Structure 1
Amino acid sequence: MSEKIVLIDGHSILNRAFFGVPDLTNSDGLHTNAIYGFLNIMFKILEEEQADYLTVAFDVHAPTFRHEMFGEYKGTRKPMADELHQQVPVMKEVLGAMGIQVIEQAGYEADDLLGTVSKHCEELGLDVSVVSGDRDLLQLATDKVKIRIPKTKRGTTEVEDYYAEDVCKRYQVTPTQFIDVKALMGDASDNIPGVPGIGEKTATKIIVDYGSIENAYEHVEEIKPNRAKEALRDHYDMAQMSKTLATICVDCDVPFSLDKAKLGELYTPEAYNLFKQLEFKNMLSRFHVEVPAQKVEGHFRKVTLLQDVEEVFQNIQKILEADSEKKDSRIGFVWIGEEEPLGLALACGDKEICYIPAEGFVTEEYLKEQLGNLIAKADAAATLDLKSQLGRITLTDAGKERLFDCNIAAYLLNPLKDSYSYDDLAKEYLGLMIPSRMDLLGKSGWTAAQEEKPQEFLTCVCYMAYTAWRAAKELMEGLKDTDMLRLFQTVEMPLVYTLYDMEQAGILVQSEELKIYGEELGVRIAQLEQSIYQMAGEEFNINSPKQLGVVLFEHLKLPGGKKTKTGFSTAADVLEKLAPENEIVSLILEYRQLTKLKSTYADGLAAYIAADGRIHSTFNQTITATGRISSTEPNLQNIPIRMELGRLIRKVFIPAPGCVFIDADYSQIELRVLAHMSEDENLIHAYREAADIHRMTASQVFHTPFDEVSPQQRSNAKAVNFGIVYGISSFGLSQGLSITRKEAADYIGKYFETYPGVKKFLDNLVVHAKEEGYVTTMFGRRRPVPELKSSNFMQRSFGERVAMNSPIQGTAADIIKIAMIHVNERLKKEKLKSRLILQVHDELLIEADRSEVEEVQKILSEEMHRAADLSVPLEIDMHEGENWYEAK
């Protein structure tokens, strides 16, 4: 069996990946999507080919020998986007770290290098696979040379393969004749002028009939149509020049070595470090090397004896007292363990790093007490994910002020990241490459890791404490530099304690009622199934988009079918347009809603009911880029409210005996924020007059007296009002209101005429984001908008919408956070039994003791109204009920 070599056209594949993979950036701000896509394509090709050799060829961006032969047709390719250009040297560095040969030569394009190397390797008897997104390389195809053309779309890669016979089947010409076709039709992207007036179809027919440009010219009077004949006759010199430009050189001077192309161990320590820097976490599992790292100075100690533990704490206290004179008295700590605490990792210097197991004489209570003493002595006590550890910390009010959550600080500085692990913090803020938890422990839990990998476990937990200790200072400086220290200290850190209290409280659920609700849904779902089968005239899998598409658009021949690669689209927007006139479609939409309700809520919520009969959801404050809180395991913020059957599920959530629910939510908070931040006089006046804002907008936009505004006009104005907050486009509004794009554009135009201050405000946000790279909320929260620098139009458009809506949504999120912090603190300060148990976007839910209802309502009203000082009143709606449904 012949040996095999893979040759990759570097710039071509990078370019394909750049436009095929959504924009990615690492913590250093480096765009990485092209590198990521390139590596995915390369790994896919190598796994398929099982090659023995690999070489990647790059262009040198200078005029090539082919273009220098002709004056005005010298290489003048459009320069690559900056986001792609910065990735090229990094890509070469990655390939070098993996031991992959890279070739480039001034005066030659990559396809010339590939052409020469492919011919050389074929002559040596190797099987050759050339990987490129450029179809010019099809001219290199033979029985032994295969051209592979990848297509990357939405993160997935498909590859077209061409040997010589495949080129003939697809293009009706041989690989050599493919040059002539391109020469006739030209290629502006490759600076090949071609023959004016001859397109691909005509060029192909001419070469199929005559075999070559030269032979066609000899029979030029026979060529049809006449315009093609005249074009070739008048521009034969251009056709010959184009053929020279289109022909890939196969005998140029190439710096290629077959020995250097030999594939060795790709997954080297050097490559691992680069993958870590690029933050390609899902690729790290390919590496089976001993994890390289810059070792932290100092040593890790595992302390087990009580007298040693006391000595450790005494030493740390002495260090803190000494350092307090230098104004740098800090500790880093992390409690380790899932359900039960295993121990405490501590750091207060490069050498003072230790892990103290909670075992034997060293109890959890003892460690809590000693940690509390250290926090009281320290200027700052830094940790990772404070909320998960609060149950293991004894705190005074003064101690609370000293705590510093590194994850939250890092989130404020860069809210676009999907995680804030200790190794990421070490890399970004300390310049250290240290092993991650996955590197050291794999997927093992803490308990299993401590038993099975004691040394790796010890290293991991000490790295965590050390990173918290050292990174806190850098993070604090970052917050000061970005004017977000006050936001961190007065909103985000106090919120940790409020969310912890809410998680501990949970919400009571009637499990039997939830079960009955699920059974009722099941009955209705079964009825819908039978009705759908009857109307369709056959049984099929309603949950299968492919089968559903066939039934609707082929068997029932409904209009509006959109064919995709996998079949007809049955997306919600497609079906919703068909529903008014097709009963089966309406039933299918209802079926989808009810099956979602049953699986996610009726059945799904039951799994989260704890022994106390309550669901204790987890509230996250480092997930959304706008600053909104999210809820997981389960997501209680996503309980349906738009359809009555969905709202009914709220009935299973009840207050504890002797309590009622009090629900308070802000009325149109984002529009009120918009009025304040835009300083639009008309919008401010409307709110100060307590007018129906949607009716008022409809009256002014449609030039209709206020009292004569129709329900439809008010509904349309409402869509525009809320759409403006989200940076809606005319296309988006037209889809939402089922009107033409022109009508939607007119609505938006009239809106901005009515509220000119809003238009100016939104435009200024985009300008600021383009200049500074971010936008801010009223409270100083920053939202980076890197999309505005993208060369991709869709990405830039998305960035403009983000720039417009983030300050509004983020300010609303800040206000609700401030309100919930103050409400929770008031309830505790006044020693009430009532407690805050849930936050859903603009809504707060209190489980109120019946004897405290009036006090709770007063607290809610006062704290929610004064959470922010706006130029328009903050209004709240408040209701009381025996379950969440009634209260809402």
Structure 2
Amino acid sequence: MARAPIVLVDGSSYLYRAFHALPALTTSQGRPTGAVKGVLNMLKRLIKDYPESPMAVVFDAPGKTFRDELYSEYKAQRPPMPDDLKSQIAPLHQCVKALGLPLLCIDGVEADDVIGTLAHHATEAGRDAVISTGDKDMAQLVNERVTLVNTMKGEALDAAGVEGKFGLPPALIVDYLALMGDSSDNIPGVPGVGEKTALGLLQGISGGLDAIYADLERVTTLGFRGAKSLPKKLEAHREQAYLSYELATIKTDCELPAGLDDLDIAHPDREALVELYHELEFKRELAELLQGKDQGVDDVKGGTPAPASAADGENENAGEPSGASGRRKDVTITTQKELDAWLARLQKAERFCFDLETTSLNYMEAEIVGVGMALEAGEAAYIPLAHDYLDAPDQLDRCAVLEALTPLWQSADKTKIGQNLKYDISVLASYGIDVAPPLADTMLASYVLNSTATRHDMDSLALKYLGETTTSFQEVAGKGAKQLTFNQVALEQAVPYACEDVDITLRLFDELMPRVKEEGRLAQVLETLELPLISVLSRMERAGVALDAERLHSQSGELETRIHELEQRAFELAEREFNLSSPKQLGEILFDEQKLPVLKKTPKGAPSTAEAVLEELALDYPLPKVIIEHRGLSKLKSTYTDKLPRLVNPATGRVHTSYHQAVTATGRLSSSAPNLQNIPIRTEEGRKIRQAFTARPGYRVVAADYSQIELRIMAHLSEDKGLLAAFAEGQDIHAATAAEVFGTPVDKVTADQRRSAKAINFGLIYGMSAWGLSRQLHIERSQAQTYIDRYFDRYPGVGRYMERIRTQAAEDGFVETVAGRRLYLPEINAQNRNRRQAAERTAINAPMQGTAADIIKRAMIDVDAWLQQGEFDALMVMQVHDELVFEVAEDQVDAFKEDVAKRMQNAASLNVALTVEAESGTHWDEAH
């Protein structure tokens, strides 16, 4: 019987990749733990995939290696390891050892060299070896006994796989790196030789670097671009190429303290794991450990997987068990008898998970190809309806199946579970099918649980909460121009893919919902705000908004003229032509030629030409001012005036954006295709874009906007008597603040004083410092500090609130909105002062932004329910920041404005009355 392969894990590679690719997790004390958790999940996956294999987890040792002696600039360009990553190395090492895994960390050589040596020993001993890494350099080690596995991408490469991916066999990977260099390690290579040129050389002249340098004249005969001038470059940098070869070569002869026989996995140290999981606040892992569940070693080594559950409606088309540890049963439903059996089960169930497989991600264009269903974890069914590839098997009629499923979707007694349900609801709506509450959405459950996690897609959630890597769409449908639509995917691939979607989603629901219910008022936020909003947004997206494409075409022409004028003006000021979009060329002109002061540098040490830098320089110098205006108008043209007309749906003649509930940290909605949130309102050009958003003939645009909502929320949260009184008396809050700060009667406040007070009001709720205020008002820092001090003297409750919220955030690790939405602050206790202060500023503002988001979501839900009653001939067509936009029949506009303002004002009960200003017009800008 063949021996199990030796598994060699590139721990350093996975640590870096987990840190940068996975959500940033921290303990309640602000200690970073996300990379540790990510690597542990990957290790457990490897142990399950290779249950009988010896294993070593290899890390880079601190300090210099032999490569630093060869080349002093080796890896010299790399920035220092982030503190939040560095602090996770020791606990990860402790966890690896406690799990019983051999850990190697050898001074003077890199992890790659240790792995290379062990792989070489395995080959010599006639053993197979699997190298688990995300590092392309390791491809040089692949041979008939050594393969690479990337658990993050689900990719495995043998020798043929390496050649398929890189265009070269493993034996030439070092030559490839030597020629083109490696910027990540600062291996120089040959200047002017990139990936394509290196590949052309090695494919054109067999034998690698030596063969190329032995016959440089032959290089000129190769067919790729630049070949004729290449011999000169190669000769000039011969020594550098061979140095690069030596730097890129992984050692296979290191002296190691452990051999292959020392790599068996030991039993986990349960007490050490309990202590570590407590310390790292890994609640799920700790619970599993205390309940005696699999910790990635014991159960896999000696246990037996649980049998797959039997399924009603099982048939000869059922797929092989797959999914979580091979325990999922996939059922394909292609006959009426099988469908009837599943319908009977669905009718008895109180909940079910479903997912549509379609032809497009665009909800306005998508056609249903099949339906995935799940009732219990470990069993899933797929109903193919419209797979139409050559020789596709017979499938049930789509209309008949959808008709049979409609009573289930419309039942008020069944919870419909999904991931990003809004998409499925919108697609079903195009078939005339409404999906009734109660709804459950795993994406939104994850978002409410921790909105600061970077991703809430199913693949990320499966890895984070279930420790599983899912099948990507590209794996079943291909990539790029040759990618298939799902109707062209064979059932052999489609069934396990679709069944995995619903099975994972159902398991995520069971994992996430108890967590949501355990944490404060998060369940209430999910059930009363986020879930009811799904159907509201779906209706609003499908309604779309009318767009005047001709107006935008005309504006594009005007912008083109102005952009050209600005370009010519920039050339005059620079005294030469240059690429205005090139930071490098702009930097040369501003700082080398015109000698402007360098205010900030990039991570690589070059003078920065970022927007904030140019804005500051523009106060004193003309060219930066021109560049800023050029950039702004170019962005308007490319993002809006050119692009918006192309987004008009040909069937409806309207623009249908997509609103996203699970993107921003504060709870605010975002949108895409188009992004409605970023259309400027303060500039004439931005307002012209808003003029293109119109209404159907016989209708008007109504915009209803919350007035100064965040300042009102600040008054509520801080309970400051002065602010509460100002709002209660209906004062102009900015004039009232100016009167207090500048010690003048309200009726004597000047325009400049009011402007300064407005900057103070809004700046302080965003945690602005005296330095930030001084920059905004163009005054001395000491003067700005005086204004701030006076503000807090007049409104002491605000200062007390800010201090209280900082302290509370540091203790809890999060802040809350009035409704109970939590906003976690991973860096509130960070050792780095700048990061900690940034988190403190967020702590001050997030409750206000988040509460404002909650209020407008509540308003949308209430207003939508009101509109569904049919009292008004009106549609809710857009939501932008604190504003709702409607399309209303002309003869109902006045009554509608009055009623909608009242309903929006009643969306929350605060110590300060909410004010809504509703106006109308023929287009969006006119309704302001």
Matched, 1:331 2:325: no
Give the structure 2 partner of residue 577 of structure 1.
616
- Aligned counterparts of 1:741 and 1:33: Cα–Cα separation in 2: 43
Greater mean alpha carbon deviation, residues 299-308 or residues 867-876: 299-308
User: 1:763 & 1:346 partners in 2: Cα distance?
Assistant: 51
1:469 aligned residue = 506
1:268-316 CA distances to partner (integer Å, 9 max, x unpaired)?
Answer: xxxxxxxxx99xxxxxxxxxxxx99633644111111233222321243
* Paired AA for residue 610 in structure 2: A
Instruction: Identify if the C-alpha distance between structure 1 residues 21 and 341 changes in structure 2 by more than 3 Å, giving closer, same or farther.
Output: closer
CA distance in 1, matches of 2:808, 2:561: 55
Q: Which moved more, 1:345-354 or 1:457-466?
A: 345-354
Q: How does 1:36-185 map to 2 (within 5 A)?
A: 56=59, 58=61, 84-90=86-92, 102-103=104-105, 110=107, 159=186
Residue 348 of structure 1 aligns to a residue whose secondary structure is strand
Instruction: Indicate the percent of aligned positions where both proteins have the same amino acid.
Output: 34
Structure 2 counterpart of 1:420: 456
Q: Does 1:493 align with 2:531?
A: yes
3-state DSSP of counterpart to 1:786: coil
Q: Aligned letter for 1:655?
A: A
Residue pairs, 1:399-438, within 5 angstroms: 400-429=436-465, 434-437=470-473
Match among 574, 597, 600 for residue 639 of structure 2? 600
Q: In structure 2, what is the Cα distance between the partners aligned to 1:648 and 1:94? A: 60
Pick one of 347, 358, 367 that aligns with 1:340. 367
Per the TM alignment, residue 421 of structure 1 is displaced from its structure 2 partner at its CA by 3.0
Alignment CA distance shift 1:598-1:720 (3 Å): same
Measured against aligned partners, the alpha-carbon deviations of 1:640-664 in whole angstroms (never above 9, x if no partner) come to: 1121122111111111111011111
1:730 touches 1:741 (CA, 8 Å); kept in 2? Answer: yes
3-state SS of paired residue (2:324):
coil
How far the C-alpha of 1:799 sits from its partner, in A, is 1.5
What does residue 307 of structure 1 align with? 337
Which consecutive unaligned segments of at least 5 residues does structure 2 have?
A: 1-8, 43-55, 64-81, 119-182, 189-253, 264-283, 286-320, 361-365, 387-393
Structure 1 counterpart of 2:554, one-letter code = I
Cα distance in 2 between the residues matched to 1:582 and 1:434: 54
Asked whether the equivalents of residues 818 and 867 of structure 1 are also in contact (C-alpha less than 8 Å), the reply is yes
- 1:10 Cα deviation after fit: 9.9
Select which of 879, 883, 887 maps to 1:847. Answer: 887
How many angstroms apart in 1 are the aligned matches of 2:449 and 2:396?
38
**Residues 1:374 and 2:408 aligned together:** yes
Sort the Cα spacing of 1:489 and 1:520 in 2 relative to 1 into closer, same or farther, 3 A: same
Instruction: Report how many residues are paired.
Output: 681
Instruction: Work out the CA distance in 2 between the residues paired with 1:358 and 1:10.
Output: 45
**Amino acid of the structure 1 residue aligned with 2:34:** H
**Which stretch of the first structure deviates more once superposed, 499-508 or 543-552?**
543-552
| 2: CA distance, partners of 1:707 / 1:59 | 67
The letter for the 2-side match of 1:710 is T
The answer to whether the aligner puts 1:355 opposite 2:382 as a matched pair is yes
Whether 1:813 and 2:875 are equivalent positions in the alignment is: no
Letter in 2 for 1:31: G
Q: Structure 1, residues 820-842: CA drift from partner, whole Å, max 9, x if none? A: 22122211213532101001100
Which of 401, 415, 421 in structure 2 is aligned with 1:386?
Answer: 421
Q: Partner letter of residue 762 of structure 1?
A: M
Partner SS, residue 827 of structure 2: helix
Q: CA shift at 1:382, angstroms?
A: 0.8
The amino acid that maps onto 2:367 is E
Query: Retained in 2: the 8 A contact 1:441–1:453?
Result: no
Question: How many angstroms apart in 2 are the aligned matches of 1:663 and 1:847?
Answer: 9
SS in 2 for 1:295: helix
C-alpha RMSD of matched pairs (Å): 4.3
C-alpha change, 1:54 and 1:421, in structure 2 (3 Å) is closer
SS at the partner of 1:362? coil
| Cα distance between partner residues in 1 of 2:261 and 2:588 | 53
Taking structure 1 as the reference length, the TM-score comes to: 0.69
| Contact 2:25/2:826 (<8 A) preserved | no
Given the two structures, how large is their TM-score scaled by the length of structure 2?
0.66
The residue type equivalent to 1:301 in the other structure is V
819-828 vs 581-590, greater mean Cα deviation: 581-590
Q: 1:835 aligns with which of 856, 870, 875?
A: 875
Aligned-pair CA distance for 1:373: 2.6
Report the 3-state secondary structure (helix = DSSP H, G, I; strand = E; otherwise coil) of the residue aligned with 1:664. Answer: strand
1:799 equivalent among 839, 845, 854: 839
Measured in 2, the distance between the counterparts of 1:617 and 1:35 equals 34
Q: Is the 8 A contact 2:412 2:438 kept in 1?
A: no
Which amino acid is the alignment partner of residue 351 of structure 2? R
The residue aligned with 2:245 is none
Q: Is the 8 A contact 1:353 1:462 kept in 2?
A: yes
Aligned match of 2:257? 256
Partner in structure 1 of residue 716 of structure 2: 676
Q: What CA distance in whole angstroms lies between the structure 2 residues aligned with 1:397 and 1:515?
A: 37
Q: Which runs of 5+ in 1 are unaligned?
A: 1-7, 40-52, 61-79, 105-109, 122-155, 162-252, 263-276, 279-290, 321-328
1:390-789 alignment runs, 5 A limit? 390-393=425-428, 400-429=436-465, 434-437=470-473, 443=479, 448-449=485-486, 451-482=488-519, 483-559=521-597, 565=604, 567-611=606-650, 612-789=652-829
Name 2:75's counterpart in structure 1.
none
User: In the TM superposition, what is the alpha-carbon distance from 1:9 to its structure 2 partner?
Assistant: 14
Q: What CA distance in whole angstroms lies between the structure 2 residues aligned with 1:582 and 1:90?
A: 52
Deviation sequence 1:320-360 (CA, Å, 0-9, x none)? 2xxxxxxxx32111111121101111111246521011246
Contact 1:441 1:457 in 2 (8 A): no
CA separation in 1, counterparts of 2:261 and 2:60? 13
What residue number does 1:295 align with? 325
Q: Which residue of 2 aligns with 1:286?
A: none
Larger radius of gyration: 1
Q: 1:396 to 1:547 in 2, by over 3 A?
A: closer
Partner Cα distance (1:626, 1:54) in 2? 39
Distance 2:601 2:33 in 1: 38
Structure ranking higher on relative contact order (CA contacts 8 Å, 6+ apart): 2
Secondary structure at the counterpart of residue 400 of structure 1: coil
- The residue type paired with residue 524 of structure 1 is R
Q: Distance in 2 between matches of 1:86 and 1:533?
A: 51
**How far does residue 864 in structure 1 lie from its aligned partner after superposition?**
0.8
Matching residue of 2:33: 30
Letter in 1 for 2:329: H
The Cα of 1:748 is off from its aligned counterpart by 2.2
Alpha carbons 1:405, 1:493 under 8 Å: kept: yes
Q: C-alpha displacement at 1:412, in angstroms?
A: 0.5
The letter of the residue matching 2:836 is R
Counterpart residue identity of residue 383, structure 1: G
Report the AA paired with residue 331 of structure 1: F
- Larger fraction in helix: 1
Looking at structure 2, the residues matched to 454 and 10 of structure 1 have their Cα atoms a distance apart, in angstroms, of: 37
1:412–1:781: 8 Å Cα contact kept in structure 2?
A: yes
Instruction: Give 4+ residue runs of structure 1 displaced > 6 Å after superposition.
Output: 8-11, 20-23, 33-36, 80-83, 92-97, 111-114, 258-262, 394-399
Alpha-carbon distance between aligned partners in 2 of 1:875 and 1:383, rounded to the nearest angstrom = 37
